[in-house]
Structure 1
Amino acid sequence: MSKINLQTLGFTDKFAAEATLYSNLFAGRVTAQYKEFYRVMTEAGELLAEVSGKLRFNAAALSAFPAVGDFVMLDRTDNTEGQAIIHHVLGRKSAFIRKAAGTANVEQVVASNIDTVFICMSLNSDFNLRRLERYLAIAWSSGALPVVVLTKADLCDDVAAKTAAAESVAIGAEILVTSSLAEDGHSQILPYLRSGSTAAFIGSSGVGKSTLINRLAGTDFATSGLRNDDKGRHTTTRRELIVLEHGGLVIDTPGMRELGLETADLSKSFADIDELAQQCRFRDCSHTHEAGCAVQKAITDGILAADRLSSYQKLQKEASYEGLDYKQIEEAKLNSMFKDIGGMKNARRFLHAKDKRRR
């Protein structure tokens, strides 16, 4: 196999500088993750690798282990004399994080070092502004640049109206409109996939992510025919980084469709509400019943949609529960219910005193 220039894999000067700290080791990028092994691309080609015992022992959390997209330092660049060993994970410039399956608060990196995240939503029955707000909050928190891709324009009767609706919630993010029927339907995405840049796709099943990735990669690995409901049957069973022929890299992963709100950035995805909140009379305004609430006034004046505030409050509450076990969540809910009298502890005192008076 011919030598690979790591710069084409996104190995920037910052990564190169950090790599010099580890003498006698070689840099590579994780392109796929299996149960116990990783596929890593080095300057000499691809190889299989496993984590060193020291890295495993010193890992303070699951998130410290390598993930697809990570740049790592290995002891070799081929498998001729056995499996390569990963000794270090270089610092990440961005990361998608979710809770590990079956745990209450253990974070797992789904994919890392992403430059652009394409949030795909179709313009047919899948179109949902509240879902788009959720994906934007997740994307902003990752450190990558979110770009909204509205797919299946050929199935929509009023593309302009839905695009305008998406623009109303996608503050700070560019919006692209694509059609699955057009041969060049993916052309608007190409400028984001320059050599060395990495992109990821998130969105509901059947919105056209696989079709876009197939066209970008010039192959048909991402779908396996159509189901009766006209949705592509996605066959990706592991996280994988794909190097595109024309330059750029794409991370294809089932995990990107299962992200929660572990590190959601609501300040960017709901910048309009945050800006209005600065004008509220009370600093701790809940934007529900307080006098002098600028957010409620904006709703009354038709500047802000009531549904958008509801979505904001729902995601805010959901984000506050992340990392808690079920008992802690129940306690948080009760404290919220009784916040006007000082929380659950004061509520218990109040009920106890009331019970005494009845005796």
Structure 2
Amino acid sequence: MADSPETPLSSIGWRGDIPAAPADHPEFRIARVIAQHRAGYELHDGVSAFNAQPAPRFLKPTIDPTERPAVGDFVQVSTHKPPSIEKVLPRRSTLARAAAGERHQRQLIATNIDTVMVVSGLDGDFNPARIDRYLMLVEGSGAKAVVVLTKADTTDDMEVSLEEMRSRVPAEIEVIAINARSADSVAGLLKFFGPGSSTVLVGSSGVGKSTLTNTLLGESRQATNSVRETDSRGRHTTTYRALIQLPTGGCLIDTPGMREIKLTGEETLDGSQFGDIEELAQNCRFGDCSHLSEPGCVVRAALDDGRLDNARWHNYLKLRGELAAAADSLELQLRRKSETRIQTKALGRRLDEKYGRH
């Protein structure tokens, strides 16, 4: 953590050295976005929460959605009434996914976070392939990933599931099993919630994110609900992202359950999550090897002798194809935006030449 003067903002994760009321801009103060609603934003200045509206420029349909304020952002807010968000301060980390639909547009989940807890239940929700997908999103975010397996009290196969996850994630990623209702059980997570820290919980509905939040708070503040017996899926009891201050001094962002976890097209496969498979494939004797039936293929050899898990390999292939499609879609969107800007500038020049600059 960077050294910085203690201010009220420090209690909500502020690490900067800009005073809360910049001397050269006394009409502004700094606050953190703790929730976003249809009617506007809820902010916190380290002392109290208040509502604010975004400046008109944030509402323009042509603006990149990632440039708008998001939960976790530190922002400059006008001191007049009603207050308005005038500027989003630089982010130290950004967790995003692709928005639902055909367009691979980035949708921010949380910003300025230190840890992303990927939460999965040790019941019918347990899906290592889905956890792989979450970890790909986390890898380029600037935050640290932790896999949290909840409902440890409901299964006799906890050690098997733990071993499966630990065998398929990088060694530096901790995998922790808990009973989210038990304060003693979640004590092993407290090291991630120290003063000044910021952590976001992500996962499907019904995995226990809100239950874990309530246990960390020591009170039932977040709504919880039961899950279906058929597939262990829950209803969306958390309907919006909310940043909550914990008694430990850290901040926690609870999020609604995610039905779809789409890659943005900016992820890579050569990082820690699948770097071993990428390296194995690159060392294959055939540059254009399909890794299906070619003799002497090192990937096939690793699959045959058990060094490479077959399910993990197939998930890698699936994500590789999806990532390529997302990257192509993203490149096409950027090209179209660039062409539109060029055409708009050219039209502007022609109008200036014909009618003169106003």
TM more than 0.5? yes
2:109 equivalent in structure 1? 110
Amino acid corresponding to residue 299 of structure 1 in structure 2: L
**1:247 aligned to which of 246, 249, 263:** 249
Number of aligned residue pairs: give it: 319
CA distance in 1, matches of 2:182, 2:49: 35
- Map residues 151-230 of structure 1 onto 2, 5 A cutoff: 151-171=150-170, 172-180=172-180, 182-227=182-227, 229=229
2:306 equivalent in structure 1? 302
Q: Structure 2 length as normaliser, TM-score?
A: 0.80
Deviation at residue 40 of structure 1 after TM alignment: 0.9
Helix, strand or coil for the counterpart of 1:187?
helix
1:87 equivalent in structure 2? 86
Unaligned runs of 5+ residues in structure 1 are: 329-359
Deviation at residue 161 of structure 1 after TM alignment: 2.0
Deviations 1:211-239 (A, max 9, x none): 11110122223334425537665422111
Deviation at residue 110 of structure 1 after TM alignment: 2.1
Of 87-96 and 265-274, deviating more is: 265-274
Of 296-305 and 203-212, deviating more is: 203-212
**1:33 aligned to which of 31, 36, 50:** 36
Deviations 1:130-181 (A, max 9, x none): 1221121122132211101122222222322221111011113111111246
CA distance in 2, matches of 1:162, 1:54: 48
Deviations 1:84-109 (A, max 9, x none): 11111111122222334556133221
CA distance in 1, matches of 2:254, 2:296: 47
Amino acid corresponding to residue 248 of structure 2 in structure 1: H
RMSD: 2.9
Checking the alignment, whether the CA contact within 8 Å between 1:223 and 1:232 is kept in structure 2 is: no
Identity of aligned residues (%): 38
Q: Closer, same or farther in 2 for the Cα pair 1:103/1:66, shift >3 Å? A: farther
Q: Closer, same or farther in 2 for the Cα pair 1:90/1:289, shift >3 Å? A: farther
CA distance in 2, matches of 1:44, 1:22: 22
Deviation at residue 320 of structure 1 after TM alignment: 1.7
Unaligned runs of 5+ residues in structure 2 are: 1-5, 333-358
Of 93-102 and 307-316, deviating more is: 93-102
Deviation at residue 59 of structure 1 after TM alignment: 6.9
Amino acid corresponding to residue 96 of structure 2 in structure 1: I
Amino acid corresponding to residue 143 of structure 1 in structure 2: G
Helix, strand or coil for the counterpart of 1:213?
helix
CA distance in 2, matches of 1:105, 1:228: 31
**1:68 aligned to which of 65, 68, 71:** 71
Checking the alignment, whether the CA contact within 8 Å between 1:210 and 1:234 is kept in structure 2 is: no
CA distance in 2, matches of 1:157, 1:102: 39
Deviations 1:272-306 (A, max 9, x none): 21232232224454433445432222112221112
Of 167-176 and 93-102, deviating more is: 93-102
- Map residues 239-318 of structure 1 onto 2, 5 A cutoff: 239-254=241-256, 258-262=260-264, 263-267=266-270, 268-318=272-322
2:341 equivalent in structure 1? none
